[in-house]
Structure 1
Amino acid sequence: MIKFFRKIRYDLMEKNKTGKYFKYAIGEIILVVIGILIALQLNISRENSDLRKNEIVHLNNILQDLNQEIIALEKMIKFKESQSKASDTIRDYIDGKRQQDLVSFNKNQFRAFIWRVHHPNNNSFSELKSSGQLSLINSNEIRQHLLNLNSKYVQLAMMEEHLKYEYHEFLYKKNINSIDYELMFNAKKVDFDKNDSILLKQNIEMIKGDKSLKNTYVLASSNNSYIASICKNILDIVEKTIVLIEEDIEK
């Protein structure tokens, strides 16, 4: 093809057709430029296609994490709300508002004591962010949702650390001298035929009217309730992010 165009140029030069030669030369340059542009466009299209395939892989990985996160968050919310309710119940016993259901008292005591934190299912996003490849996700809206979600995890971790401190400094230390841990941990093994109800009642008598201890359960109730609210907010962001990702993948 190159020899063909070269022969035409030579023929025009030999016949002194300078005007036609320059027009032809310009036309040839335009054709070359067009060819280069087409080649570049094809190359860009291939690169964009490869980037899109790579993006979809990452989006699917993140989507899988987020679906697991929904399950984990729902469990965490339910558990933290139950802890808050258990703390309120113990507070009522301290105030003398409850006198019966001694097994329930010890079970609530045990539930209020359990220490549990949320471990986010965000490995795919964290790896993408730490590798500096977050820009692979084209959708600015999806990126912002994921970054917002990440900041909420930081907030949750800070609140959990705060609650951990209060648990150790107030709830655990205060209760060491106020209740019988053996009764609490063995609440499910109560045998009323052996007068265990009398032993269980000792725990209530030990803490009744103890305002200092009551405050530890008020704090536990408030903080666990707040953690549940943070998890609900995170759950809302997770659900919205899933919708955005699913819509983006289907494009």
Structure 2
Amino acid sequence: MIKFFRKIRQNLLSENKFSKYVIYAVGEIILVVIGILIALQLNITREKKDLRKIELVHLNNILQDLNKEVKGLNWMINFKESQANASDTIRDYIDGNRQDDLISFNRNQFRAFIWRVYHPNNNSFSELKSSGQLSLINSNDIRQHLLNLDAKYLQLSMMEEHLKFEYHEFLYKKNIESIDYELMFTSRRKTDFDKQDSILLKENLEMIKGDKSLRNTYVLASSNNRYIASICKDILDIVEKTKVLVEDDIKK
């Protein structure tokens, strides 16, 4: 092909057809430019396809994490609300509104005492963010939702630290002298108590009746656990919306 064009140029020059040579040369340059542009476009298209393949891998990984989050957050919401209810029940015992149901008293003490934090399933997003590759996700909406989730996780973590402090400083320390810890932890699944256990529980119950500072401890535990549950609900809402965006993007 190169020899063919070279021969045409030589013939035009040898015949002193300079004007035709110039037109031919311009045409040849245009053909070369068009060839380069086509090659660049093909290369850009290939690169876009390769980047889309990488993006789809990340989107599918994020979707898997989001599906795990739905289950994890629903469990955490139920757990924190049950802890808040348990704290309310113990408050009723302190107020003297409940007295006879020792099994309920023991179980609710145990439920209120459990310390558990939430561990998000967001490894895929965290890896993208830490590696500076979040821009691989083309959708601005998906990126913004993921960043909103990250901010909510930080809020949840800060609230959990606050609650952890109150648990250790108030709930655990305040109850160290008024509750039989061994009985509470080892007998929480019992449907009935032997005489000795019943006596111990009744003694525990008598010790905490009317204790205003202990009552305030359970009020705080109830309020804070419900607040954590509400944060988890907000996170779940963002997770559900992000799931829809990611699923739609993957189907494109």
TM-score under structure 2 normalisation? 0.96
CA distance in 2, matches of 1:142, 1:11: 62
**How far is 1:193 from its partner?**
5.7
**How far is 1:184 from its partner?**
1.8
Letter in 2 for 1:45: T
Q: Percent identity?
A: 80
1:16 is matched with 16
Point out where structure 2 has 5 or more consecutive residues left out of the alignment: none
**How far is 1:192 from its partner?**
4.5
**How far is 1:190 from its partner?**
6.2
Residue correspondence of structure 1 range 211-230 to structure 2 within 5 A: 211-230=212-231
Letter in 2 for 1:114: I
After superposition, the Cα gap between the structure-2 partners of 1:193 and 1:90, relative to the gap in structure 1 and judged at 3 Å, is closer
Letter in 2 for 1:212: S
1:82 is matched with 82
Letter in 1 for 2:214: L
**How far is 1:195 from its partner?**
5.9
Letter in 1 for 2:79: F
2:36 is matched with 36
1:134 is matched with 134
1:3 is matched with 3
CA distance in 2, matches of 1:31, 1:182: 88
| Structure 1 vs Structure 2 CA RMSD | 1.2
Residues 130-170 of structure 1: per-residue CA shift (max 9 Å, x gap): 11111000001000001110111111111101100100000
2:161 is matched with 161
CA distance in 1, matches of 2:125, 2:189: 42
Say which SS state the counterpart of residue 189 (structure 2) adopts: helix
* Contact 1:81–1:225 (8 Å) recurs in 2: yes
CA distance in 1, matches of 2:38, 2:200: 88
TM-score under structure 1 normalisation? 0.97
Residue correspondence of structure 1 range 39-50 to structure 2 within 5 A: 39-50=39-50
Letter in 2 for 1:183: L
Residues 183-228 of structure 1: per-residue CA shift (max 9 Å, x gap): 3222434645636433322221110000000011001001000000
Say which SS state the counterpart of residue 3 (structure 2) adopts: helix
CA distance in 1, matches of 2:175, 2:130: 43
Which 4+ runs in 1 deviate beyond 4 A? Answer: 190-193
Residues 47-93 of structure 1: per-residue CA shift (max 9 Å, x gap): 00000000000110111111111111111111000000000000111
* Contact 1:190–1:197 (8 Å) recurs in 2: no
User: What is the count of residue pairs matched by the alignment?
Assistant: 251
Say which SS state the counterpart of residue 220 (structure 2) adopts: helix
CA distance in 1, matches of 2:57, 2:93: 54
1:55 is matched with 55
CA distance in 1, matches of 2:168, 2:178: 15
* Contact 2:70–2:239 (8 Å) recurs in 1: yes
1:122 is matched with 122
**How far is 1:9 from its partner?**
1.1
Say which SS state the counterpart of residue 132 (structure 2) adopts: coil
Letter in 2 for 1:172: Y
Letter in 1 for 2:169: E
Check if 1:200 corresponds to 2:215.
Answer: no
CA distance in 2, matches of 1:187, 1:66: 34
CA distance in 2, matches of 1:30, 1:192: 96
1:246 is matched with 247
CA distance in 2, matches of 1:10, 1:187: 101
